[in-house]
Chains A and B, each alone.
Chain A
Amino acid sequence: MSASEAMRIACEAILKNKVRSFLTMLGVIIGVAAVIIMVAISAGTEATIQEQITSLGSNLIFVQAAFTRAGPGQAQQGGLVYDDAAAIQQGVDGVTSVVVEQQSTENIKAGDVTLEDVELLGTTSEFPSVRDMEIASGRYFTDEEIERKGKLAVLGSSAAESLFGTESAVGQYITAGTTKLAVIGVFKERGLVGNTDFDSRVYLPIKLVFQKFTFNPFARFMGDRIRMIYVEVDPEADQQKIIQQIELLLVKRHDVTVDSEDFTITTQQDIISTRESTTSAFRSLLGWVAGVSLIVGGIGIMNIMLVSVTERTREIGLRQAVGATPADIRLQFLAEALLLSVIGGLLGMLVGVGGAYIFGAVSDMRTVIQPASILLAFGSAALVGAFFGYYPASQASQLDPIEALRYE
């Protein structure tokens, strides 16, 4: 019996039992679809993260104030001060620009509208270029305005919309706490980057934030505390070397030891690798789940094939009587199992691709269908069919023709 004849017989057998064949395939359909959808989801997540990372701005080193315990139950912001930024700019080679950030929260009023607990972000003049923010209308602060603690504000896009609706915000006034500020610019919409919402914030000259919005009675002696220094470095420079230099400089300036640093230095690479390790763990988990469902599908095929062999014992006996060899019988049932799993695999591919597309369209998650995952899922479905079909097929081939013909 040739392979094509075996396939034809398998086709007939499958068509003779349409409902059962479909139910048998269902496990494989679900398994293959699951693999494709899961991989599409994790690929979509990764693509989103990649985009976020590029939108963080390039070649950034983050120097962040570490929170230390100042006393029982009291967390105190660590020792980064405003002058550290200038020291880094001057004392470290390969630094192209430095941006400082300090934050506070206040209620913001504009006319009748009051927004509660809005994040105020004090920054320096290079903030838009380093953090990749674009001005939609108006302009950003100049160094001179920052130095003279100008009572000015630049609004994030959603903050502007909440306060002024469709009206132009530039040229209007807002009140932060008790301080009246002139709006000189509005940023373009940026969206969520990681957990940070750039659009709902109000941006102020950092020295104004020191003066009006943070409580720090010791500033005169210790300098103005800041939350974060963004250090933009020359892309050609050795980042690790720059990090070491910054670390040494700050350890010296703050009079701390390397073990008790009151700051942390991270790079974009650190953030990327954290995110990536999370997604790859997520992805392999999804892969296992999908793989298990494929195996369960295979066991379903084996189960039905064993039932089918039992049911068709007399048929097997007859085929043996008219000259089928054990190999012929094995081929017939193997072809049937293989065909079931391949058809199941094809249907699963349709369901998987369709499902991934629909899932991407209706949910927040993005899905990117990976051609490799389709091939992988389909290939493993065929393997599962061959693997789980082999046992029932060899059971069938070992039947004794006389016993098989007598079987009731």
Chain B
Amino acid sequence: MTANRAIIETHDLTKVYGMGDVSVAALDGVSIRIDPGEFVAIMGPSGSGKSTLLHILGCLSQASSGQYVLDGEDVSHLDNVQLAAVRNKKLGFIFQSYNLLARTSALRNVTLPLLYDHNHHGMSEASDVKARQMLELVGLGDRAHHQPHELSGGQQQRVAIARALINDPVVVIADEPTGNLDSRSGLEIMNLLHELHNRGTTIVMVTHDPGIATHTQRTIHLMDGKVADVVHNGKHPVAARSGGAG
């Protein structure tokens, strides 16, 4: 027991696809710990299990064995409905391809997670106010009523980030957030993530781009379903931002 409670703590996670002789272990005993306020990158070649790990950390799937404690709650044996509730309350997702609802305003895209908040009364005036705050936070306060096709790729990803933050998640899961962007927009998104990190948001990001990974505090390298290496980048996020902007 540590004094500081971890946000994410896994013990011996495995994920096996298929059965019997043809089974493949995508994860083979992964134990990691991520503390509050950390900005962590997960890297590895394709097939290393990084996506599988991200899906499990994002409560989108369950490990075959092992334990996963998220924000003090053991989520290893929850069913689909319980996992959905965990995603809704504790997690925020940023995807490579933004995944905004087409023909839906930025504001409505941002409020989407609140729709599925079963403990509250769904949509309300308050959710719109909060969504506007989130859009302002990502620098799109004046784009609330724009639809995705009226926004640039970078702007769309900012809307997605605002959406990931609307439920005050304990951790933001980012899956190649700059993968679809040109380097300039990608850098802007990374700066935004740094800003969020500075405000205390915990971020776990999967990337295959070592350059992007160096923006984080720590990089977990996966290889063949195992943690191969953990690198402390030792870089101060603000320094990274000013470096990027220059």
A positions within 8 Å CB-CB of B: 1-2, 5, 9, 12, 16, 314-315, 317-328, 400-402, 405
Contacts and interface: CB of A to CB of B under 8 A. Distances in A.
Contacts of A400: 61
Interface residues of B, number: 26
5 contacts: A1-B116, A318-B95, A322-B112, A323-B85, A401-B60
B152 interface: no
A323 B84 contact: yes
Nearest to B117: A323
Given A1-B115, A2-B122, A405-B99, A322 B81 contact: no
B115 A402 contact: no
B39 interface: no
Contacts of A401: 60-61
Nearest to A321: B93
Interface string B105-117: 0000000110111
Given A5-B123, A318-B101, A401-B60, A326 B95 contact: no
Given A5-B123, A405-B99, A325 B104 contact: no
Given A1-B122, A325-B81, 7 more contacts: A318-B112, A320-B60, A322-B87, A322-B112, A323-B116, A326-B80, A326-B84
B173 to A, nearest CB: 9
B80 A322 contact: no
A319 B81 contact: no
A323 B123 contact: no
A324 B117 CA distance: 9
Nearest to B163: A322
B101 A323 contact: no
B130 interface: no
B55 A322 contact: no
Contacts of B177: none
B87 A16 contact: no
Given A2-B122, A402-B55, A325 B116 contact: yes
A142 B163 CA distance: 99
A5 B127 CA distance: 14
A320 B84 CA distance: 7
A140 B227 CA distance: 116
Given A5-B123, A321-B58, A328 B116 contact: yes
A323 B113 contact: yes
Going nearest first, the 5 A-B pairs with the smallest beta carbon separation are A323-B88, A323-B116, A322-B113, A325-B84, A318-B99
Contacts of B80: 325-326
B226 interface: no
Contacts of B115: 1, 5, 9, 324
A400 B60 CA distance: 8
